[in-house]
Amino acid sequence: MLTDLSITNIAIIDSLHLSLKPGLTILTGETGAGKSIIIDAVGLIMGGRASADLIRSGSDEAVVEAIFDISDMSELSQLLSDSGFPCEAELLVKRSISRAGKNRIFINGAMATLTLLSDISRRLINIYGQHESQTLLRPENQLLLLDLFAGNTDLRGAFASLYAKLQTVRERLAHADEREREAARRLDLLSFQSQEIAGAELRDGEEEQLEEERQLLANAEKLGGASAEAFELLYGGDGALLGQLRRISNAIREIAAIDQTLGETATSLENCYLQLEDAAMTLRGYASRVEADPLSLQRVEDRLDQINRLKRKYGPTIRDILEFQQQVDGELEQIRDQEHDREALQGQCDRLEKELRRCGAELSRQRAAAADALKQALENEARQLAMKNAVIEADLTLLDEPRPTGFERMELLFSPNAGEPPRPLAKIASGGELSRLMLAFKQVLPEGDVPTLVFDEVDSGIGGATSETVGRKLKRVARRQQVLCITHLPQVAVFADQHLHVAKRVDNGRTATAVTPLDKKARIEEISRMLGGAVITDTTRSHAGELLATARSSSP
């Protein structure tokens, strides 16, 4: 609830502080004293439009500060904490307006945004009357009021939860579809790459072997000729090197038999002969095997060309190409997994859509059933609030697409006069009618939705017994919510738990607004003024006392 309100330099208010209590707080005073300015200041705390025109003449800045007791509002405390504004029992909101255009918002001493302020304040205060942000004028709030009346809050919450889950799954499904389209475009390329590499049947180290084989095949004629010639020089004919070496070895072996000091030399020559003989046999075999093979050479050249083409595409080495193939195959597997994921998401989406339709159908059924009952209840309340010819319709319209609130929208239609067709509430209801309609809602709804309600012009165009009825109904609402109400009717004012008198004073040639809490005696004087005008008599005082006594003794 709102416990304190301080206003500085707004319109004719220079400096004002209000300490507010639970229950029904009534503000009274002469027209033009500044009562509506106080409501405008509350509107600023709610995130209303800040204009330099509100700043008191001669001042450069206007400030509104409000303190709220939120000790029993855990969700709001959590919202503030999540937004970086830790708060426990008290919430301080400050808003400053500068002629220089540097408007500022502070929450618990730290700068905040207008968006956050609006989100917070709508959970704390509702204003009914001529304020710009009247809750009752917004169709989404009208639908909420119908659901509160019908007891649909749990069902409405279940629908909103299903809707949110469905939207999340649909977003994931849309992303999956986009990934699938991208994958489809990439699938052909990846499949081609994988098949091309796999079809080549590459082996690590193959390229080096092929290079060696090509070297041999390309030089086969030279290798064969050279090895054959070397064999002939070593072994062929009488002048061959081995023949000569045999003769030399035999001669040395003969003389070594005479001079044993040449024995080692003879052995060395014999070993040389044997080694050269082995080499000659190897060369003869090599020469017999080596021959020009253009087909084999072409096969090797083609294979190397294939490998080089793959290297240009996929990597500098065969190992790099094979690693690239592993990556491609991995991505292909992911694409196949995505297809399975999409199927699962589609199944989840279908199930949620079915649940949403079922839940929405039940919500629509209950709303349709409650709409007529709400009409009857509101019209009954309206007749008690001096709108005896009022016609109220809860017009439900099916939406093309569901919203988080359901499959339909609702608009309250209103006609204050007999014979006139109902029209949208926002287009036809006056400030006073709107306040009284909200008061009617507060009578038929099961419980309060925000801790503080402000009624402006609730008594517009009424009098007599109806004004007493308005007072009783305000008192009844104030049992569960804090209520602030501006009134000109004594029959309403007598029901106040706290009565504040708003008046103008002149200090040093400047007009300013002052607010005074009234005790019992002062209340009698104020009620007398409201009853009798400028001249207060014992009769009006007696009447005022009777009204106050009746209000205290009667149960609203």
Nearest-5° Cα angle at 456, 451 to 458: 100
Report if pTM > 0.75: no
Helix (H) or strand (E) holding 400: strand 391-403
Strand-by-strand arrangement of the 406-415 sheet? 391-403, 406-415, 423-424
**pLDDT, one tens digit for every residue, the chain (556 residues):** 999 999 999 998 999 999 999 999 999 988 888 888 898 899 899 888 888 888 998 899 999 999 999 988 888 888 888 888 888 789 999 999 999 888 899 999 899 999 999 889 888 988 876 544 456 777 888 898 899 889 898 999 999 999 999 999 998 888 877 777 777 777 777 788 888 888 888 888 888 888 877 777 777 778 777 877 787 788 876 678 877 888 888 888 888 888 888 888 888 988 998 898 888 888 777 777 777 767 877 887 888 888 888 888 888 888 888 888 888 888 778 776 766 777 888 899 999 999 999 999 999 999 999 999 999 999 998 888 888 888 999 999 999 999 999 999 999 899 988 888 999 887 877 777 887 888 888 888 876 668 999 888 777 777 777 888 888 888 988 988 999 999 989 999 999 999 999 998 888 888 889 999 999 999 999 999 988 776 788 888 999 999 999 888 865 5
Q: What is the pLDDT of residues 524-543, one digit of tens each?
A: 999 999 887 767 888 889 99
Q: What is the pLDDT of residues 121-168, one digit of tens each?
A: 888 988 876 544 456 777 888 898 899 889 898 999 999 999 999 999
Secondary-structure class of domain 2-124+450-553 per CATH: alpha beta
Amino acid identity, residue 305? Answer: D
Strands 406-415 and 104-107: unpaired
SS3 283: helix
The C-alpha atoms of residue 482 and residue 449 are separated, in whole angstroms, by 11
Dihedral of the CA atoms 171, 172, 178, 181 (nearest 10)? Answer: -140
Beta bridge partners, 501, equal 28, 516
Angle between helices 318-384 and 294-314 (to 10 degrees): 30
Residues 6+ apart with CB under 8 A from 219: none
Query: How buried is 52 (Cβ within 10 angstroms: 0-12 exposed, 13-18 middle, 19+ buried)?
Result: middle
Return residue ranges of the chain for CATH 3.40.50.300: 2-124+450-553
